[in-house]
Amino acid sequence: MRHEIERLGYTRRFVIYDQDDQLRVAKDVIKAQGRSRQVHAKALLGVLDRAKNRLTLPQNLPGEEVTPVAQKALRAYERRLREANAVDFNDIINLSLRILREHPDVLERWRARWRYLLVDEYQDTNLAQYHLIRLLAGGRRNLAVVGDDDQSI
């Protein structure tokens, strides 16, 4: 992603926020909105994590999943990350997927780079990761996945 991120308006020197960074930003956003009693930072990040794993933008979450106050906080969180030229862990997958979908030349270059794809711990793959794998594998069928059936549902 670092090679292509400029196509989305980030610089190549972007930073990846870990859980502590994410929690700090979430708390700052909630505090700035004066909503610390209505919205909890860890819960907010949990909603965001689930949304990004399903390739859903925070503003598109249904009202029964997140209150308007929390939606406002989620948008502010995303804005803060963007202003800091930062991404979170889910963004690594989602932004990579976006780049590959929006720029066919990039997709073809990365597909040509690997003859085979191997995915370990496949049972833990979320929707965003699944789409990334399918996109990179293309129609070549040179994909192997490894999973632990003891960990499957």
Candidates 140, 115, 119, 138; CA nearest to 129 is 119
Classify residue 66: in a domain, yes or no.
Answer: yes
- Mean pLDDT over residues 132-148, rounded? 89
CA-CA-CA-CA torsion sign (80, 84, 88, 93): positive
Domain that holds residue 79: 5-89
In a domain, 81, yes or no: yes
Most confidently modeled range among 46-50, 54-58, 90-94: 90-94
Q: What is the pTM of this model?
A: 0.86
- The secondary element (H helix, E strand) that includes residue 72 is helix 68-83
Residue 38 banded pLDDT, cuts 50, 70, 90: low
Q: Are 85 and 14 in contact (CB under 8 A)?
A: yes
85-113: average pLDDT: 95
Q: What type of residue sits at position 3?
A: H
If one counts the domains in the chain, the total is 1
Q: Residue 29 belongs to a domain with what CATH number?
A: 1.10.10.160
Q: Judge whether 137 lies within some domain.
A: no
> Would you state the structure tokens that stand for residue 103, as one six-digit string?
């720029």
Mean pLDDT score of the chain: 90
